[in-house]
Amino acid sequence: MTILLVTEDLAIQRRFQSVLEHEGDELLHVCATAQDAEDVLQRHTDIKVIAVDFATPGLGGLKTVARLTTARATARLVLMIHTPSFAMARQALQIGAAACVPAHLFQDALSAVLSLTTGPNDLIVLPQGALSRQKKEHGLSRRELQILALLCDGQQNKEIAHSFGIQEVTVKMHMRSVIRKLGARNRTHAAMIARDAGIV
């Protein structure tokens, strides 16, 4: 299997090299920029996994990740993030990534991720307790989290009320509480905060 790694982080590079040396028959191409990665993809048709460090300077965010997934549709893209975020992971999978994992996995965990990534399933890996810590930090109730998740999916109050079989006025009450607890200006700002913090 041939892997393309996009990162400037020497620790990540060494970890990948150690894993691939242990596997024996793996090849690794390392690029420091997304532009270099696209050039490598054009020259090497045997690349099966593209591993992208989301903290790479000048990466260009998820738009570049999406571009890399379409540049080599047969390859599986692994996005490595430094701040655990389920919302970010979900967005990455929606645009074509096969996996979203912490950037600094131990060698055994990285080996397992690479093995699973080449299979038929998509993969999200977060540090243990990451989701519960994020939810507790903001003090949102279970119902508020549910409503916030639907808000982040673009649903209006009327649609959210229908989903839970409750009155729209009840949704508005919960929404005001969510906005207050998150310190948001409005519902759109609340959704942005929730996505950035990985609350939903």
User: The domain spanning residue 101 has which CATH number?
Assistant: 3.40.50.2300
Domain count, the chain: 2
Of 76, 92, 127, the position where a domain reaches its end is 127
Over residues 105-126, the pLDDT tens digits come to: 888 899 999 989 888 889 999 8
Looking at the fold, whether 57 and 107 belong to one and the same domain comes out as yes
The pLDDT of residue 183: 85
Looking at the fold, whether 168 and 145 belong to one and the same domain comes out as yes
User: The domain spanning residue 146 has which CATH number?
Assistant: 1.10.10.10
The pLDDT of residue 12: 92
Looking at the fold, whether 34 and 114 belong to one and the same domain comes out as yes
Looking at the fold, whether 102 and 163 belong to one and the same domain comes out as no
pTM of the predicted protein model: 0.66
Domain boundaries, position 83: 2-127
Q: At 79, give phi and psi (nearest 5°).
A: -95, 125
Of 100, 127, 154, the position where a domain reaches its end is 127
The pLDDT of residue 199: 74
Q: At 185, give phi and psi (nearest 5°).
A: -85, -35
Looking at the fold, whether 10 and 98 belong to one and the same domain comes out as yes
Looking at the fold, whether 95 and 180 belong to one and the same domain comes out as no
Of 93, 127, 161, the position where a domain reaches its end is 127
Mark the ranges of the chain whose per-residue pLDDT is less than 70.
25, 129-137, 198, 200
Tell me the one-letter amino acid at 194: A
Residues 28-35: contacts with CB under 8 Å, at least 24 apart: 28/2, 28/3, 29/2, 29/3, 29/4, 29/5, 30/5, 31/4, 31/5, 31/6, 32/6, 32/7, 32/8, 32/56, 33/6, 33/58, 34/6, 34/58, 34/59, 34/60, 34/64, 34/67, 34/68
Looking at the fold, whether 119 and 141 belong to one and the same domain comes out as no
Looking at the fold, whether 87 and 137 belong to one and the same domain comes out as no
Looking at the fold, whether 20 and 111 belong to one and the same domain comes out as yes
Percent of the residues in the chain that have a pLDDT greater than 70, as a whole number:
93
Q: At 103, give phi and psi (nearest 5°).
A: -65, -35
Looking at the fold, whether 110 and 180 belong to one and the same domain comes out as no
Looking at the fold, whether 69 and 165 belong to one and the same domain comes out as no
